[in-house]
Structure 1
Amino acid sequence: MTLVQRELVEFQDVLTPRAISQFLGTEAWALHSRRSFMETWVHDSGVGRSLEYVHIPTDRDAPDFSRRLQETASTLSRVYAISMGELAERVSAIRADLFFVRIARDSADGTIPLRQASGLIDSIEKMMKAAAIVTANPLAKGTGRTSERVRNFLDDDLRMGHTKRGSFIITIAARLHDDDIGHGADDPGAPEREGPAAANRVTRREGRADEPTIDFSRRVMTTLSRSLAVTRRHLDHSDDFVEFEEARESGMTAPIVEAIEEIATDSGGARVDMRFSWTSALPHEGLSEEPVIFTPTAIERAPRVIERFARSAGVPANTDVVGPVIGLSRDTRAAGEEEGDVIIQADVRGSVKKVGVTLSGNDYNWAIYAHRHRLPFTVSGILGKKSGRWWLLDDVEVDASFLIARQHDRIERLGGDAPEDPAAPVDV
């Protein structure tokens, strides 16, 4: 298998006939002809240069379909003088708005620890969810119950793309609906079209032919872009600084500030760069593609902003934390009874957080039991920040009633003897 063939296999979910056709429709290409098995597009390379042609295969059952598609991709890669990966990114950008998150840290091989990558994706999802909630309900604060529209966006339209070179960069794609970007090459019912205008078609509201309907995915990405921009201005304390109340009214929300801080903390305090790339299939005047950069100094101010959000929301002193135990760290220096740190993943204040708590004795043993049996663990206390991480700092109380009942039922079912102390786990 040649290099081009391997690359085409890698990007086959992006470089489809339909997607390539939509991409050409937004560039300086014109549809020359369409037949049942192929579309032919022509590109004027400039004065004194020959015309370029590509033939996009549309019949997937044809024996030469793969070879023809490979030739099309190779020609486009040559015309634009870009790699197959860069071509895939440009093609995918026609069907989606892209959001790039870059962790600026030294790494000889461009990788990061798997656990850090998992936390990074969780934090990005938190930002996207908050932006979607606010988009669906401008009076919301980015937390709380999600509507069906928001759930559909998170489940169906939000995708993770190929990672890019340069420190560590994650690509998030908010897919547009086909009604907003026209028909593609492998749609046999597509009407004839010529040039860029057809692929830029935007659905119109019924009875309002002069006003475009903006795709929900685009609206979410716009909300996120503006929120990140004003959050950076508030945290940065630079010449364009805005006060807390103005920033909040302009789109800064607690979940987005939390997510930014979590990304930086998990990355060892590294700078976090974010950038958007807007599809040309929809109007994007006024939408910035300039990087939004959060420096370590700016991120150090995030905990105070989060606490101010909590105070303004009137959050009760004690917070219930219920969820799976995802981390245990025993304190080997502790004398006598067991003691250690427990990390729980839970929905707190409308967003998923990793919350730590220091426990000892039976409380710590029940955390081990919950982790071993993959059961939810319940603990409450005063929630705050410790070394940049969410932690239950005081008034900590473990509710082991569910685990005790579960253990009792399990012992009865297996015919074992009741433990001497029913309030203690028997198999930690």
Structure 2
Amino acid sequence: MTLYEQRIGPEEVRSYLHSQGWVSVAQSPLAQIWKDGARGEWEVLVPLHTQAADFDKRLRILISDLVHAEQRDQNSIESDIASIFLDVTNLRAAHSSLIDDSIPLQAGYELFGSAQKFVVASAAATIRRQGYFRNMPLRAREHAKNVRLGHTKRGSYIVPILSQARAPELVYEANQEHIDIAVEETLFDRRVTATMSRALDTLSALVSGSRTPNSSDINDAVGEGVSRELCRAVEAVIKSDAVDELDISFNWSKVSSAPAGSATSVKFERGSEGIVGMVSEYLLSAPQAAEHVIYGVITELKRRPGDATGRVGIETLLGGRRKIVWMDLVDDAYHLAVRCHDRGVPVSARGVLNNAPGKIAVMDVIDFGPDASLFSAGAMDVDSIPGQS
């Protein structure tokens, strides 16, 4: 595979070098010189003019220099640079008798089909927490059209799902008056992958525990993004005689922190399909109570002395348009909202949304806080989130 096919360009190279601790020490309109920030023993030249006749040659020299500097093989370095702006979810079907990293046609068909179902179900749960989606939200179906599959990889049978993770350097500013629609659309990809990770991790824990999950366990799992559609996608793979286990690993983009509460890997073993099916059937028959999830910035704060709750307005995207959703938050949650507003920290809220046409949108909140899909677990303390004030 050529470097062009790997989608390696100046932006990918510079972001990769920055993530590895290299620093830019000189530049011209045609190239930059970067120095190894850890030891200072290596310098590399990064070509910037993609239309130059020797661009590919210079890029190959750069990769060769990195191979020697990092003491890693070329394919691994090229892959890491090419995926620097991607969250990569690897679906791995494992079986002790697989031949030459191949699997039977039917098992492969189910694995590829499940990749699409994972994305759609996770996109739907990013918008609405619901045990069973009789009709998937249009945005969830449209999102799946933009997600790509990478080349299958060696190692049992691995299908990579590629999602964009180009979070802006400064997501939002303190006391921001409006959300940026273009930014919000960009961040949706990361939010979907974060939902997928948490939902699959929750489902795996649910079906691999020492006891059979009860209705309370399953209902709580819905709040984490588990749905009947997600269950059926898992079940379709692990019920195959050609698959001993389904491993799902999440390789988060190096330009964005791994989302708080996300998993790095999840496993479903053969034999668990019965419990997965039971959870799926429960979600089909259980009463449906949809909880919407909104993302945005706090633009309105209202509270009078002595009030038990404070009124908070979050500007979000509803139907592709900016709209303020109002909610009442108790004391601790309201003070958290104030700090998020003052530092420009994006937030998320989950609850029952009333968005009747022509009326003020209000939410009965179940959960509120900084947007966990954008920050690592260590940065979920609002006061520690850098670059927003």
Q: State the partner residue of 1:110.
A: 101
Provide the residue aligned with 1:322 in structure 2: none
Residues 108/95 of structure 1: CA separation in 2 closer, same or farther (3 Å cut): same
Which whole-Å CA distance do the structure 1 matches of 2:134 and 2:43 have between them?
Answer: 51
For residues 151 and 282 of structure 1, what CA distance do their matches in structure 2 show? Answer: 25
Q: Is 2:170 the partner of 1:202?
A: yes
Distance in 1 (alpha carbons) for counterparts of 2:30 and 2:149: 32
Aligned residue for 1:30? 23
Q: What is aligned with 1:132?
A: 123
Greater relative CO (CA pairs within 8 A, separation 6+): 2
Contact between 1:98 and 1:174, CA under 8 Å: does it hold in 2? yes
Counterparts of residues 12-91 of structure 1 (less than 5 Å): 12-46=5-39, 51-91=41-81
Percentage identity across aligned positions?
21
Matches within 5 A, 1:106-185: 106-138=97-129, 141-142=132-133, 144-148=135-139, 150-156=140-146, 158-177=147-166, 180-181=167-168
Partner of 2:222: 248
- Is the contact made by 2:198 and 2:225 (CA closer than 8 Å) also made in structure 1? yes
> CA shift at 1:67, angstroms?
0.8
**Distance in 2 between the 1:202 and 1:238 partners?**
44
Q: TM-score, normalised by structure 2?
A: 0.64
Structure 1 residues 81 and 237: alpha-carbon distance in aligned structure 2, compared to 1, 3 A threshold: same
2:297 aligned partner? none
Instruction: Verify the 8 A CA contact 1:19 1:91 in the aligned structure 2.
Output: yes
Alpha-carbon displacement from aligned partner over 1:278-307 (angstroms, at most 9, x marks no partner): 223223353444421111122232222222
Report which stretch shifted further, 223-232 or 285-294: 285-294
- CA distance, structure 2, for counterparts of residue 34 and residue 267 of structure 1: 57
Q: Structure 2 vs 1, CA of residues 138 and 310 (structure 1 numbering), >3 Å: closer, same or farther?
A: closer
Unpaired runs of 5+ in structure 1?
A: 1-6, 182-200, 315-428
Deviation at 1:256, TM superposition (A): 0.8
* Structure-2 separation of matches of 1:25 and 1:307: 48
Where does residue 8 of structure 1 map in the other structure? 2
Query: 8 Å contact 2:26–2:34 — kept in the other structure?
Result: yes
Tell me the alpha carbon deviations over residues 375-410 of structure 1, each in whole angstroms, 9 at most, x when there is no partner.
xxxxxxxxxxxxxxxxxxxxxxxxxxxxxxxxxxxx
1:259 and 2:233 are equivalent in the alignment: yes
Q: CA deviation at 1:131?
A: 0.7
> How many residue pairs align between the two structures?
280
Give the TM-score, by structure 1 length. Answer: 0.59
**Structure 2 CA distance for partners of 1:173 and 1:287, relative to 1, 3 Å:** farther
Quote the RMSD (CA, aligned, Å).
Answer: 2.9
CA distance in 2, matches of 1:293, 1:140: 21
Q: Which runs of 5+ in 2 are unaligned?
A: 289-389
For 1:260, the aligned partner's letter is V
CA 1:130/1:169 → structure 2, altered by over 3 Å: closer, same or farther?
A: same
